[in-house]
Amino acid sequence: MAVSELSLRIRVGLEDFELNADLALPGKGVSVIFGPSGSGKTTLLRAIAGLQISEGEIWFNGDCWQGSGEHRKTSERPLAYVFQEASLFPHMTVAANFDFAERYALHADTPSLRDDLITLFDIRHTLSRKPDRLSGGERQRAAIVRALLRQPDILLMDEPLASLDDARKQEILPYLERLKSEFELPIIYVTHSAYEAARLGDYIVALDKGKVVSQGTLYDVIGDPEFPGDISREAGTVVTGTVDSIDDQWHLAQIRTGSSTHINVPANNLTPGDSVRLWIRASDISLSHQPLTDNSISNSLLCQIEDIRHDPNPALMIVKLRTESMELITRITRQSASQLALKPKMPIYAHIKTAALI
């Protein structure tokens, strides 16, 4: 069920922390709540779910969940919640966990998607097992399926990959991308990882110290060099494109991002015609006045400098660049900016290591 909007104006006052948020999140795609540890991400998500006492109003698709004398219990809100740790019932098999979720489905008259979800998340082989016989990735995939079997109108996910190692994170992310592309269910996804935000997010809300410091579409927010604290260290740019060709000898994919702009990336499992999203980190771009020769960098793009500003680190500068089809940002030292005599409107070459691209 697609929804129009989730809007909230809430305040949560704890003993040593206060959260204030005034948001209107789009009712489709993935809205990412993004920020460093202690910024209030989980507190905000729990307030939306009704698990955290808060003041103010929460409206979902024109329906009041909180405010004007209304305060619906979590069980009365048409949502499902996925926690950091897979919260499967330990005494039940995976199949029995799914049976339990379907008994309490919110839309009993809607055909079950159980078989489709089991196939989508590739967990048919786990159905007869109990949670202690599953890998961390299998447990979390099963927990996501169980949440979806409740047939929610919105899915809340609280750092669902935080307890997993890097290999298991890379295992699950493709399933989340398929969930996003194959279902219209709106998702609110909490993370402190700029990589996860860039890979999954459509709309981003950045929190710091209990306040919203930035919000907007992925393309506006993920590259914002003014993000606070440890977020800014991961600043970068998200670029969309199409796979033009695959070099089978070197296992590289050529991504077209404009009429004449191409970027080489590791091919992995890409095929010609695929739509892709690249995250180019500011720290992975270097600048020069001339094209580079006799070096290992295979991506050199002719750009124009749009803006130059100071970084929170006094040794660094942020440079915003534009090509015919995209904007980029790079972080370089003040010394390098001085040596290159950089200034707005100047043409400059941006060099991006192929191996660094995600």
Judgement on whether residues 112 and 261 belong to the same structural domain of the protein: no
User: What pLDDT digit, counting tens, does each position of 104-124 carry?
Assistant: 999 878 888 999 999 999 999
Rg, Å, the chain Cα set? 22
87 and 188 share one domain: yes
For residues 5 and 24, the answer to whether their CB atoms sit within 8 Å is yes
Pairing label, strands 275-281, 316-322:
unpaired
- The verdict on residue 285 lying in a domain is yes
Does residue 55 belong to any structural domain of this protein?
A: yes
In a domain, 112, yes or no: yes
Give the torsion sign (CA, 299, 305, 311, 314). positive
Shared domain check, 241 and 211: no
Angle between helix 94-103 and helix 136-148 axes, rounded to 10 deg:
20
Choose one of 161, 196, 222: the last residue of a domain.
222
Q: Are 194 and 166 in contact (CB under 8 A)?
A: no
Shared domain for 208 and 286, answered yes or no, is no
Token reading at 170: 């890379």
Q: Is residue 227 part of a domain?
A: no
Determine contact, residues 143/159, Cβ cutoff 8 Å: no
Residue 80 lies in a domain: yes
Spans of the chain, pLDDT less than 50: 1-3, 229-232
Co-location of 291 and 339 in the same domain: yes
**Global pTM?**
0.77
User: Within this chain, do residues 210 and 251 fall inside the same structural domain, yes or no?
Assistant: no
The position carrying tokens 């955290």 is 52
Its domain, for residue 312, covers 237-356
Residues 191, 285, single domain; the answer is: no
For residue 157, count CB atoms less than 10 angstroms from its CB and return exposed for 0-12, middle for 13-18, buried for 19 or more. Answer: buried
User: Residue 357 and residue 355: Cα distance in Å, rounded?
Assistant: 6
Domain end (from 222, 245, 276): 222
Domain count, the chain: 2
Last residue of a domain, one of 165, 187, 222: 222
Q: What is the pLDDT of residue 1?
A: 34
Could you give the C-alpha distances from 132 to 14, 91, 138, in angstroms and in order? Answer: 35, 9, 10
Q: How does 282-304 read in b/e, with b if 16+ C-beta sit within 10 Å?
A: bebbbbeeeeeeeeeebbbbebe
199 and 243 share one domain: no
CATH number at residue 274: 2.40.50.100
Distance between CA 146 and CA 100 in Å, rounded?
Answer: 9
Q: Are strands 70-71 and 252-256 parallel, antiparallel or unpaired?
A: unpaired
Residues 92 and 213 both lie in one domain: yes
Instruction: Return the CATH number at 90.
Output: 3.40.50.300
Residues 103 and 34 occupy one common structural domain: yes
Please indicate, yes or no, whether residues 180 and 246 belong to a single structural domain of this protein.
Answer: no
* 99 CB-near residues (< 8 Å, 6+ apart): none
197, 333: one domain: no
